[in-house]
Amino acid sequence: MNYINEAKKILAKMTLTEKIGQMNLVDSSIEKEEELLKLASEGKIGAYLTYERDTSSTQAHKKLIEASLNSGVGVPILFGRDVIHGHWTMFPIGLGMAASFNAEMVEKAYKIVAKEASDNGIYWTFTPMMDIARDPRWGRIAEGFGEDTYLSSRLAEASVWGLQGRNREDLGNSDRILSCPKHFIGYGACEGGRDANTVEISRNTLLNIYFPPFVAAIKAGAGSIMSGYHDLNGEPVSASKYLLETLIKKVCGLDGFIVSDAGTTNHLTNYRFAADRKDASGIAANSGIDMDMMSSCFVENLEALVKEGKVSEERIDDAVLRILAIKLRLNLWNRPISSLTSASYKISPEVYETAVDAARQAAVLLVNKDSVLPLSKDIRKLYVTGPFTDAVKELFGTWVIDGIVDGVDSISDALKKKLPDTDIKFNTSRFTDEVLNNSEHSDYVLFLGGESPLRSGERNSIAHLNLPDGQEEQIISFSNLGKKVILVIVAGRPLNLTRVLPYVSSILYVFHPGTGGGEAIARILTGEVEPGGRLPVTFPRSEGQIPLYYNSIQQRKARACQLKYIDITEKPLFNFGYGLTYTSFKLSNIRIQSNSIKIGESAKASILVTNTGEKSGEAVLQCYIQDCVASLLRPAIELKGFKRVQIPYGESVTVEFVLGNAELGFYNQEIDWIIEPGKFKVFIGLDCENTIETEFNLVIN
């Protein structure tokens, strides 16, 4: 179907008031029921969201959508919801999903997310969040895919495909919903890690580090984009014609619509960028915002602004056509209004297994001294304690509105079932002395620690990255008592592990793993499966090193005497891409198919990976490049490929990466994608430092 042509037919029948109504996204709550119903019957609501559970099954929801269908030309209201990393079944938070380095898995998970949301009458979600984040103090680092542009781009694309389907028409299917990649652009670079703070990013970094995930998401078919709360390089993002009209609509070719984040239009007055709400409405609409979230500015002011000639009717028509075309593509007129509820939904065994596997692939084994993990069958006694001992909902992470808790195993529940013959003593006490004294019975302490979901996510930035108060002291005390401490950390960000590191035998970092977390962690601890995650973000040793990320422009070794601190090493505690397995791998025979590649052709690089351990295992191969001479400063190394391969013990596998225009080019200052001839180095390995290298020349035809 030609959605724009169909949309034009509807638009032709709409009044200006109804058109502007489409540009209005409201939030609903019980108190606002009557007010919203009135607005809907006047055609003044285009979309709505709510944070209440199971809302789509209520009479209020039904009435609201019906009112929109009975008003004017009868365009249905689009119901949206923050279904961020799961609806009823929770998958790991974004950072955990990213640790999987597995786009297929992410696509599969988001397909389940879309089906559950759609079954619940939710046809639009404000996902994926793909803000590059180089600062773990920022609470919202939890929601995104970490610090790397390439990884974020592949996972953004996979999320969009999972939610919307791979073909444009798939969006109309009953099991797909509209995605909304966010928060355009640079939101993760907020000063001091304080949420929604000012951002300053060079044009080179903006275009080559922060922009590509949005390009990938839009190419994958994303039908809407959310602009951020923040200001960037001197302009509020949600009032920047350059960012919205030029970058998203022109360069990326978004044919869907741009929605502002909550209240950003109104906030233009707080920014002292607009004199009042009316002024703000004109600025936002003229900058390219198509739908205003939760400020009512558009619906109050745009009509007058059009009549005064301050906003053109063409701009309004452009915005409304974009919204209508997406509603048509979504088949919104034919989607059921009310729907299944969480009470009538049961997580199927297949969905549960996918959630468990996702949680397994999110779990990063950071330390494993003397191979203490997996737990040996000889460990007859185990002491389990720490704040996550009986946690279930706390495993889900930030942004959980509808996640089902009933019937979901905690880590301890799952562990008990796996180790029926082990004498396990659980202690959930909050009193340190009690926790310590009761550990007498075992030489091994499994400490289930980390941070509550309330300590990460929106508005939850922190200045100190240590484990929350008291946990480090307990861990150190256990070690001083001679115990071997196996530390599992549930968290929404990289925490600072420097202090506890000398006192623990192992660290399994699981982020917030979701519904499958308890089972996945128990399987990993007992060796039924291996930990599958690799770090999607650099772990600093100290807050003073922030921002610390692997793909910096300057190379440490080239300026060793300057790029350093005199009181601490400049090196991270754990590298990007790092993660141990229950086996070991050797890398050899790196090859490049030809040393001279013509521009437009692809370089094929391969490596031999040998499983040198005693178990079959999964290697996550990462391919990095260095553009050795470029006309704009490029990162010293940057990820351009990753592959997860299962290698039986004692065997070797050749893994190949293809590097073409998409991998070898970059945006110049004019926003053209350029590929420059010259030498490229290729590094393939198991994390960003543990690589072997080769090189080739890119030549002009």
Classify strands 47-49 and 24-27 as parallel, antiparallel or unpaired.
parallel
Nearer to ligand NOJ, 81 or 644 (CB): 81
Q: Which amino acid makes up residue 175?
A: D
The contact mask relative to ligand NOJ for 37-66 (x = CB under 6 A, - = no) is ------------x-----------------
Q: How many residues bind ligand NOJ (CB under 6 A)?
A: 7
Nearest alpha carbon to residue 94 among 458, 508, 634, 448: 458
Q: Smaller CB distance to ligand NOJ: residue 183 or 634?
A: 183
Six token digits for residue 691: 């690589």
| Lookup result for tokens 């995605």 | 179
Based on the shown chain and the rule CB under 6 A, indicate whether residue 292 belongs to the binding site for ligand NOJ.
no
- Minimum distance from CB of 154 to ligand NOJ (Å)? 21
The tokens describing 556, both together, are 């440490």
Instruction: Compute the least distance from the CB of residue 79 to ligand NOJ, in Å.
Output: 13
Q: Closer CB to ligand NOJ, residue 254 or residue 262?
A: 262
Quick count: other Cβ atoms within 10 Å of Cβ 220? Answer: 21
Q: Is 409 in the site for ligand NOJ (CB under 6 A)?
A: no
**Residues 74-93: x/- map of binding to ligand NOJ (CB under 6 A)?**
--------x-----------
Beginning with the edge strand found earlier in the chain, give each strand of the sheet holding 603-611 in spatial order. Answer: 585-592, 603-611, 652-659
Query: CB-based contacts of 125: which residues, under 8 Å, 6+ apart?
Result: 80, 81, 82, 83, 84, 113, 114, 117, 163, 177, 178, 179, 180
Buried b (16+ CB within 10 A) or exposed e, 366-379: bbbeeebbbbeeeb
Q: Closer to ligand NOJ by CB, 264 or 626: give it.
A: 264
Footprint on residues 451-490 left by ligand NOJ (CB under 6 A): 458
Minimum CB separation of residue 463 from ligand NOJ in Å reads: 21
Question: Is 133 a residue that touches ligand NOJ (CB under 6 A)?
Answer: no
Q: Is position 382 an interface residue for ligand NOJ (rule: CB under 6 A)? A: no
CB of 263 to ligand NOJ, least distance (A): 9
Residue (261 or 303) nearer to ligand NOJ, CB? 261
* Sign of the dihedral defined by the CA atoms of residues 259, 261, 263, 264, in that order: negative
User: From CA 503, how far away is CA 483, in angstroms rounded?
Assistant: 9
Token pair 């974009």 in the structure block, residue: 322
SS3 category, 63: helix
Nearer to ligand NOJ, 261 or 627 (CB): 261
| Closest CB to ligand NOJ among residues 148, 261 | 261
| Residue nearest ligand NOJ (C-beta atom) | 126
406-418 exposure pattern, b = at least 16 Cβ within 10 A, e = fewer = eebbbbbebbbee
The kind and range of the H/E element at 384 are: strand 381-385
List 261, 292, 357, 627, residue binding ligand NOJ (CB under 6 A): 261
Given the complex with ligand NOJ, which of 183 and 278 has the nearer CB atom?
183
Under DSSP, the state recorded for 299 is H
CB of 105 to ligand NOJ, least distance (A): 23
Which helix (H) or strand (E) is 434 found in, with range?
helix 432-437
- Residue 126 engages ligand NOJ in binding (rule: CB under 6 A): yes
Residue 662, Ramachandran bin (φ over 0: left; ψ between -120 and 50: alpha; else beta): alpha
- Measuring CA to CA, how many Å separate 558 from each of 189, 192, 537, 683? 26, 28, 23, 18
Question: What's 492's DSSP letter?
Answer: S
148 touching ligand NOJ, by CB under 6 A: no
680 belongs to the binding site for ligand NOJ (CB under 6 A): no
Q: Residue 131, interface with ligand NOJ (CB under 6 A)?
A: no
Residue position matching structure tokens 């694309």: 157
Cβ proximity to ligand NOJ, 101 vs 399, nearer residue: 399
Question: Taking a C-beta distance cutoff of 8 angstroms, is the pair 331, 78 a contact?
Answer: no
What distance in Å separates the CA atoms of residue 192 and residue 181, rounded to the nearest whole number?
24
Among 85, 182, 249, 322, binds ligand NOJ (CB under 6 A): 182
Side-chain half-sphere CA neighbours of 319 within 13 A: 30
Q: Would you count residue 138 as binding ligand NOJ (CB under 6 A)? A: no
Task: Using DSSP bridges, classify how beta strands 423-427 and 124-125 pair: parallel, antiparallel or unpaired.
Answer: unpaired
Positions 296 through 355 that interact with ligand NOJ (CB under 6 A): none
CB of 332 to ligand NOJ, least distance (A): 19
When asked if residue 262 is in the footprint of ligand NOJ (CB under 6 A), the reply is yes
175 or 458, CB closer to ligand NOJ? 458
- Closest CB to ligand NOJ among 484 and 493? 493
Contact residues toward ligand NOJ (CB under 6 A) are 49, 82, 126, 182, 261-262, 458
